[in-house]
Structure 1
Amino acid sequence: MNTADTVAHDRPKNPGVPGSPDNPYRLAFAQEDAYLAGAPWRRFAVIGDSIAEGIGEPTEGFPDQGWTDTIADALRRATPDLAYLNLGTRDLRADEIRAAQLGPALDFDPDLAVVVAGGNDLLRRSFAIEPVARHIDAMVAALRDTGADVVTVGLYDCTASPYIPEELRAPLAARLHELNNRTWEIALARGAIHLDYTNDPGSADPSLYGSDGLHGNRRGHAYTAAVAVRTLGARLGNKR
């Protein structure tokens, strides 16, 4: 899968024009429009945890909004009457997301849906991948059964963040890659679109992370949106 271009770690505090060599983290509106040209989606839903909700620290030079909000803004330029529902809520595990958000998402009748789950599960001592995978699969399957295009997410390997203690990096990385691999398998089996941030070069860029080490700052959200827009563009045949 083609993802965003490799990024440098040292960038000025005041980034340049979006999409320029000085600011590869954020696409310009014209770039987003080109990638999403002909997009058929009219109802966009997001379910998940804090990553879906869009938690992130303000970062100079970047919009103070989550990555799915940026995608919605880009889609809305092509389809002004786009309906957008973000049910993401921090701290929820995969089973809680399924129980609380899947029903309302189905009632919304989306034709494009993002599912982000598993991040809070893997932070628990009792983490086991298969129960989490079953809940992710059930959510993806239910949305796909309605005819919606579904996007699954492999979380960033945040062990590159300077805020993650050294002794936690190896076991956390192993869990993140295990979750990504199983989520990707589900996406392939269900005909969904998978965003593999776990293996994306952005994972190794410490400037994308907030001070908690787990969530992206607004630069990170802009980069996440850029990868997603490029991937959706490839699905639409708008490769550049």
Structure 2
Amino acid sequence: MAEHRPLRYVALGDSQTEGVGDGHESTGWRGFADRFAVLLARHHPSLSYANLAVRGRRAHQVHHEQLAPALGLEPDVATVVAGVNDVLRPRFEAAQVAGHVESVWAALRGQGAQVLSMTFPDPAPLVPAARPVSGRVRELNALLRRAARRQGVLLAEMEGHAVVGDARLWSQDRLHAGPEGHARMAAALAQVWGLPGSDDSWTRPLPGPAPVGRAGWQALAGEVGWAARFVGPWVLRRVRGRSSGDGRSAKRPLLMPVR
């Protein structure tokens, strides 16, 4: 792509795009979007980058809260990843969620941006209790694939790769990718974009054996501890009608150079 002006990249989405799991609250989150910006900047040194994502946002919120600011930044490249927070809610309409995502894609494409996104992995290998939502994930992914073909969106496939179920790619809460997971998501975007030097190595297993889970009472105790630490606060927020993103704003609302 010729650079008649500095290439502009804008990221929209929820906590994964914000970078939760890759860094620390006290020092700042990095995440796949920041990492993808760095990969882009290697080939477009004057790249400017904004990240409008806010944790906890559902697809309709990304549509109604982030699209207008994104269009105002006139991006050449945009990533839009949303829908996981909808999948986890008691009431879920896959077509409605996919519709909001496609509307965002269409508006950005209509303004001339190249849009990239990704499907979602099955959470069951990491969180056995999440098996009931596996069907929701597959249904949403199928709709996103069809929408991506309609809109000319580059879609990275997170579903179907065994390595995505390796716990070493995820943070302790098992809901957000860890540094290795975010790095691989950025590499997947680089591959579908066709950045020089990118390939499918992000799909390959990590070296060494995957961690072996505990058995019996130890496994049960571990699951109870995990649920108390991470699931309990999430459920409490739902009961109170709150979100982890309440009172938060985008970490990088303006286009800035990538260092």
Indicate whether the TM-score tops 0.5.
yes
Structure 2 counterparts to residues 39-78 of structure 1, below 5 A: 42-58=7-23, 65-78=30-43
What's the counterpart of residue 192 of structure 1? 153
Q: Which runs of 5+ in 1 are unaligned?
A: 1-37
Is the contact made by 1:151 and 1:193 (CA closer than 8 Å) also made in structure 2? yes
Structure 2 counterparts to residues 174-185 of structure 1, below 5 A: 174-185=135-146
Is the contact made by 2:120 and 2:158 (CA closer than 8 Å) also made in structure 1? yes
Structure with higher RCO (Cα < 8 A, 6+ apart): 1
2:183 & 2:59 partners in 1: Cα distance? Answer: 25
Question: After superposition, what is the alpha-carbon deviation per residue over 1:24-65, rounded to whole angstroms, capped at 9, x for unaligned?
Answer: xxxxxxxxxxxxxx6868111110111111111549xxxx72
Does structure 1 residue 114 correspond to structure 2 residue 114? no
1:237 & 1:80 partners in 2: Cα distance? Answer: 16
The aligned length equals 194
Is the contact made by 1:160 and 1:203 (CA closer than 8 Å) also made in structure 2? no
Is the contact made by 2:187 and 2:198 (CA closer than 8 Å) also made in structure 1? no
TM normalised by structure 2 equals 0.69
Is the contact made by 1:180 and 1:196 (CA closer than 8 Å) also made in structure 2? no
Query: What is the deviation of 1:218?
Result: 0.7
Taking only the aligned residue pairs, the percentage that are identical comes to 35
SS in 2 for 1:158: coil
What's the counterpart of residue 182 of structure 2? 221
Q: Runs of 4+ in structure 1 displaced over 4 angstroms?
A: 38-41, 236-240
What's the counterpart of residue 140 of structure 1? 105
TM normalised by structure 1 equals 0.74
SS in 2 for 1:160: coil
Q: Which runs of 5+ in 2 are unaligned?
A: 201-259
Is the contact made by 2:123 and 2:131 (CA closer than 8 Å) also made in structure 1? no
Distance verdict in 2 for CA 1:208–1:142, change over 3 Å: same
Amino acid at match of 1:176: V
Is the contact made by 1:39 and 1:75 (CA closer than 8 Å) also made in structure 2? no
Query: What is the deviation of 1:75?
Result: 1.4
SS in 1 for 2:124: helix
**Larger-Rg structure:** 2
Is the contact made by 1:57 and 1:216 (CA closer than 8 Å) also made in structure 2? yes
What's the counterpart of residue 30 of structure 1? none
Query: What is the deviation of 1:200?
Result: 2.7
What's the counterpart of residue 70 of structure 2? 105
RMSD of Structure 2 on Structure 1 (CA): 2.3
SS in 1 for 2:79: strand
What's the counterpart of residue 129 of structure 1? 94
Question: After superposition, what is the alpha-carbon deviation per residue over 1:128-170, rounded to whole angstroms, capped at 9, x for unaligned?
Answer: 1111111111101000101111112212223222xx2x3x332
Amino acid at match of 2:182: H
Does structure 1 residue 230 correspond to structure 2 residue 220? no
Query: What is the deviation of 1:205?
Result: 1.5
1:105 & 1:214 partners in 2: Cα distance? Answer: 26
Is the contact made by 1:44 and 1:72 (CA closer than 8 Å) also made in structure 2? yes
Query: What is the deviation of 1:239?
Result: 6.4
Amino acid at match of 1:189: R
1:94 & 1:113 partners in 2: Cα distance? Answer: 16
